[in-house]
Chain A
Amino acid sequence: MWYIWDLSIVLSALSLVIMLVLIARRVLQERRGRAQIDQRRQLHTALIAFTENRDREALKLVVLAVPAGVAINAGFEFISLLRGEEYDDVLAAFDECGLPALVGKQLEKGNSAERMHAAEMLAALRSENAVASLLSALDRDRSREVRIAAAIALCDLGSLPPLGIALGKVGVAGQRSRRLIELFRRFPPARFEELRDHAARTDAVPFIRAAAIDALARAAGFHFADFFARAAGDQSPEVAAAALRALGLTGHAEAPAILASAMANGDWDVRAAAADAAGRLGLAGLATPLSALMDDEAWTVRYAAANALRSFGQPGERLLRDIAASEVSRSQRTASLILAEGPAA
């Protein structure tokens, strides 16, 4: 029976010791926190003074006098406010103080949140070794979020490996992340063809292909319209819908035929994207298939079709009013709702 008492005593003692340690740790942290606030203030003052007098030595003295963690974080926050020559001068001072090397270490040794932040800081600090550190993180880091952050940072530095290789290193699980949309949006125009080639690969993850198409449509516009027109017939609904959305932005000579065909697709997402694109492009010639879509089983499709008709102006509104005045049906109800949208009379 004594072991039960022993266990109780051990648990009590353990709880007490843990809490005492935590409280002592917190007291120390509070003191350190107060000191850090002063140090940050000191650094910010020195940085502001530097942007006025460009006295690099004075800045370096302050940077080296504060703890590395404070210098890195406060410095990163500050440089995000700077542009042009000022930015380059502060970076040069940071470089001479060895801050990028410390951030490089954080990219290797920190926890996953710190490593992600380190990747972002390295892109901003643009040091000589940044690319090597980031490539290493993309290659080896165990967290896919960190690998994606490294890929985005490398893209910003103009050193992203070929897309297929970079995505391979991010891993299949990471290829579902919306963060990759950001990566694609940051792609330099010189590498758009690479993005298009990846979007065309039928063996690639559909989510990634769709994200690549979205990015191309936003950044490159009509230049890839032929590609979007082809991709609109893709077997993957996700890719086809993205291509239709892209066509809605860029337009294409064959858009009416492509959209009409997509409106009969089995996937509601594709039908909705086609209806939406028709509205954006003002293709009044598609009024008939759009009217048919107003009886679609999916509300999203009905709503997109009705909105497209409304966007055609007078002729579309007239058609909607005719449908609204017809016999009670799904189309009639959708038309009534769309016509009534807005402030109540």
Chain B
Amino acid sequence: MMSDWSHEIVLAASILSWFIIGAGLAQTTIYLLQLIVAAYALSRRPPVARSALLWHRYGDVAPPIALLVPAYNEEVNVVESVHSMLALEYPNFEVIVINDGSKDQTLQRLIEAFKLVKFRRPYEEALAHEPIRGLYSSPMTERLFVVDKENGGKADAQNAGINVCRAPLFCVIDGDSILEPDALMRAAQPFIDDPERTIAVGGTIRIANGSRIEAGRVREIHLPNRLLPLLQVVEYLRAFLMARLAWSRINTLMLVSGAFGMFRRTEVVAVRGFTKGSMGEDLDLVIKLHRHMRDAGRKYRIQFIPEPVCWTEAPETLSVLARQRTRWQRGALECFFRYRSMLFNPRYGRVGFLGFGHILVVDVLGPVAEVLGYILIPAFWLLGILSAEYLLAFTSLIFTYGVCVSVCSLVLEEAELQRFPRARDLAVLTAVAVIENFGYRQLNNFWRVKGWWQYLRGNQGWGEMTRTGLTGAKK
């Protein structure tokens, strides 16, 4: 009897082990493929070094763009952010700040700084959103409009902005982010080169913690002084330069970050805009766009451009980072299950197989398999099911492979973009690429499993994203 019991345990352990190994291998293969495709994509489309050239080349034919900036309790940064957005280098754009029922002085600060006056502007009520209390324009600049509306969340605010804007393209950006002066021009490039097919473009998000920021511009790029944002720098490089670039190359990009993305208005209106209340409204929108275009049988491109840089503030404390990561995880799961009919559905081609397959392996199964691995592999070793030699060998392989992937994303950054100005920065990032495998990676997976748990329990809260402000002011 005892023998049967132990046999079953060994069998269950074997199955679990193979599940963990299988999920790990699938992730490994995906990362490897991403690296190869991303390197190819960068070599095929090297960045243009000087923004003056872009203006010379594209200035006359650049399409109008509306910059949509949802703001909720952003009184600390909003005026400086708007000033920096108004100073962007693009021939034809308007900035629409959507005050999403802020409880602080966000609207008042804007009214005072830009001498805003109430204004009536006819617009198409194409998307549903909470009522607009008033529109404001500024006698100081024709480019600025402020929409004051009742609180409805980020997606709701963005939908209001889409309704009010008149440009054929709109760009969403977080109120506390900073765009590089030529970011719009670079992001608009695919819409100029292939205007009929391009429906969305995402750009790189970088971490501004530690950099010197003056008058809403990143004047000197530095690495963060604290470890937590430093770890996120390597993480972001991997996510943007490797993953998104690779998926973009094969037109399977599933995420255009809500912190900086450019979209064609007509198509977004056709899919009813951002989904209100969604945890991952940016992922949700891109999936809807893929589905809409594939259902309509139209040719389209959703692209990622590595150069247009949007600077953002990364969480500096574990509690805030944990909230952010669990939210991201819930967003990914919510979108995966909401659009599960697209998974491996031949109707959706590579989006169904590769895009959704990637979400399944990396976001749905990945964290569970990895955390199971952390718990079960040592347990099996303690129970004598797994030999110590294998345990050590596999563990070392997992870590060295993780380091290698991070290093390769640094290679992509260094080969084509070189945003970090000093050689010393590279040395620091190399050390971080090693360190992140010991503790941070495991913690991240723990938060993601926590996100899984919250999703299963139906927790829809965003949690508070406490920011210190990019200018250093506390809020």
B397 & A112 in contact (Cβ 8 Å cutoff): no
Contact of A111 among B43, B397, B403 (CB under 8 A): B43
Contact with A along B137-150 (1 / 0, CB 8 A): 10000000000000
Give the chain B neighbours of A23 by CB distance below 8 A: 423, 426-427, 430
In this complex, the member of B49, B197, B426 whose beta carbon has the largest number of chain A beta carbons within 10 angstroms is B426
On whether the beta carbons of A12 and B393 are closer than 8 Å, the reply is no
In the complex, the chain A residue whose C-beta lies closest to that of B58 is: A179
**Which of A1-9, A46-54, A277-285 makes up part of the contact surface?**
A1-9
Please judge, given known A-B contacts A176-B195, A341-B120, A344-B119, whether A22 and B426 are in contact too, CB under 8 Å: yes
Chain A stretch 10-25: residues in CB contact (< 8 A) with chain B? 11-12, 14-15, 18-19, 22-23, 25
CB distance from A206 to the nearest CB of B (A): 10
Whether A344 touches B196, Cβ cut-off 8 Å, given contacts A11-B404, A19-B407, A19-B430, is: no
B122's partner among A11, A18, A111, A334 (CB-CB below 8 A) is A334
Is B119 in contact with A11, judged by CB distance below 8 angstroms?
no
* Chain A residues closer than 8 Å to B397, beta-carbon distance: 4, 7-8, 11
A3 to B109, alpha carbons, bound, how many Å? 64
Given A11-B400, A185-B60, A113 contacting B48 (CB threshold 8 A):
yes
Q: Which residues of A contact B22 (CB under 8 A)?
A: none
Interface of chain B: mostly helix, strand, loop or mixed: helix
Name the B residues within 8 Å of A114 (CB-CB).
46
> Would B44 and A112 count as touching, CB distance under 8 A?
yes
Interface string of A168-195 (1 = CB under 8 A from B): 0000000011110110010000000000
Chain A residue with Cβ nearest B188: A178
CB-nearest residue of chain A to B196? A176
Asked if B475 is at the interface (CB within 8 A of a chain A CB), the reply is no
A94 at the interface (CB under 8 A from B): no
C-alpha gap A254/B448 in the complex (Å): 67
State whether A178 touches B195 (Cβ < 8 A). yes
CA distance A210 to B394 in the complex (A): 62
Contacts of A141 in B (CB 8 A): none
Given A1-B390, A15-B404, A179-B193; A22-B120 close (CB under 8 Å): no
Q: How distant is A163 from chain B, measured CB to nearest CB, in Å?
A: 18
Bound form: Cα–Cα A15–B400 in Å: 9
Tell me whether A177 and B192 are in contact in the complex, defined as CB-CB below 8 angstroms, given that A8-B397, A344-B118 are known contacts.
yes
Beta-carbon contact of A178 and B396 below 8 Å: no
Q: Report B-chain residues with C-beta under 8 Å of the C-beta of A266.
A: none
B61 x A182 contact (CB < 8 A): yes
- Residue ID in chain B nearest A205 by CB atoms: B196
Q: How far is the CA of A4 from the CA of B122 in the complex (A)?
A: 66
0/1 interface trace, chain B 403-432, chain A, CB 8 Å (1 if under):
110011011001000100011001100100
Q: How far is the CB of B89 from chain A (nearest CB, A)?
A: 17
Inter-subunit contact A113/B119 (CB<8 Å) = no
Residues of A within 8 A of B401 (CB): 11
> Chain A, 321-345, contact with B by CB distance < 8 Å: what is the 0/1 string?
0000000000000100110111110
Instruction: Name which residue of chain B comes closest to A174, CB basis.
Output: B193
A1 touches B193 (CB 8 A): no
Most chain B CB neighbours (cut-off 10 Å) among A15, A176, A300, A306: A15
Determine how close the nearest CB of chain B comes to the CB of A82; give it in whole angstroms: 15
Contacts of A149 in B (CB 8 A): 57
B126 near A: Cβ within 8 Å? yes
Contact of A26 among B58, B134, B423 (CB under 8 A): B423
Residues of A within 8 A of B60 (CB): 181-182, 185
Contact partners of B390 in chain A: CB under 8 A: 1, 4
Alpha-carbon separation in the docked complex, A130 to B257 (Å): 43
Question: In the bound complex, what is the Cα–Cα distance between A116 and B46 (angstroms)?
Answer: 11
Cβ distance A305 to chain B, nearest Cβ, rounded Å: 12
Contacts A113-B46, A299-B126, A343-B118; A26 near B56 (Cβ below 8 A)? no
| Alpha-carbon distance A23/B407, docked complex (angstroms) | 12
Q: Is A252 an interface residue (CB 8 A)?
A: no
Report the Cα distance A341→B427, complex, angstroms. Answer: 58
B277 close to chain A: CB less than 8 A? no
Of B57, B192, B414, which contacts A22 at CB under 8 A?
B414
Query: Does B194 reach chain A (CB closer than 8 Å)?
Result: yes
Would A177 and B193 count as touching, CB distance under 8 A?
yes
Query: A342, B120: Cβ atoms under 8 Å?
Result: yes
Q: Is A1 touching B46 in the complex (CB atoms < 8 A)?
A: no
Judge whether A117 is part of the interface by a CB distance below 8 angstroms.
Answer: yes
* A338-B49 contact in complex given A176-B195, A179-B192, C-beta closer than 8 Å: no
A95 located at the interface, meaning its Cβ lies under 8 Å from any Cβ of chain B in the complex: no
- Do residues A344 and B426 form an inter-chain contact, with CB atoms below 8 A? no
Q: B112 contacts the other chain (Cβ, under 8 Å)?
A: no
Query: Which residue of chain A has the shortest Cβ distance to B134 in the bound complex?
Result: A344
Render B58-72 as a binary contact track against A, CB cut-off 8 A, 1 for contact. 101101000000000
User: Assuming the A-B contacts A12-B400, A27-B423, are A178 and B119 also in contact, with contact meaning beta carbons closer than 8 angstroms in the complex?
Assistant: no
Q: Which of A120, A337, A343 is within 8 Å of B56, CB to CB? A: A120
Residues from chain B with Cβ under 8 Å of A145 in the complex: 193
A341 with B118: CB separation less than 8 A: no
> Which positions 234-272 of chain A face chain B at CB distance < 8 Å?
none
How far, in angstroms, from A14 to B410 measured CA to CA in the complex?
13
Interfacial chain A residues near B193, Cβ < 8 Å: 145, 177-179
B464 contact set on A, CB distance < 8 A: none
With a cutoff of 8 Å between Cβ atoms, the chain B residues found around residue A228 in the complex are: none
CB-CB under 8 A from B46, the residues of chain A are 111-114
- Which of A12, A29, A340, A342 is most buried by chain B, counting CB atoms within 10 A of its CB? A12
B47 in the interface (beta carbon within 8 A): yes
Using CB atoms, name the residue of chain A closest to B124.
A299
Q: Does A303 contact B (CB under 8 A)?
A: yes
Residue-wise, chain B 199-234 has the 8 Å CB interface mask toward A (1 for contact) of: 000000000000000000000000000000000000
Interface 1/0 per residue, A154-173 and B, CB below 8 Å: 00000000000000000000
B393 touches A113 (CB 8 A): no
B383 within 8 A of A: no
Q: Which residues of B contact A27 (CB under 8 A)?
A: 423
> B61–A179 contact, CB under 8 A?
yes
The proximity string for A residues 24-38 relative to B, scoring 1 for CB distances below 8 Å and 0 otherwise, is: 011101100000000
Q: Which partner residue on chain B sits nearest A24 by CB separation? A: B423
Q: Identify the 8 closest CB pairs spanning chains A and B, nearest first.
A: A337-B122, A299-B124, A344-B118, A4-B393, A26-B423, A11-B400, A15-B407, A19-B430
* B residues whose Cβ falls under 8 Å from a Cβ of A: 43-49, 52-53, 56-58, 60-61, 63, 117-122, 124, 126, 134, 137, 191-197, 389-390, 393-394, 396-397, 399-401, 403-404, 407-408, 410-411, 414, 418, 422-423, 426-427, 430, 433
24 contacts between A and B (CB under 8 A): A8-B396, A8-B399, A11-B403, A11-B404, A15-B430, A19-B427, A26-B422, A29-B418, A30-B422, A111-B46, A113-B47, A120-B53, A178-B192, A178-B195, A179-B61, A179-B193, A207-B195, A207-B196, A299-B126, A300-B124, A338-B122, A340-B120, A343-B120, A344-B119
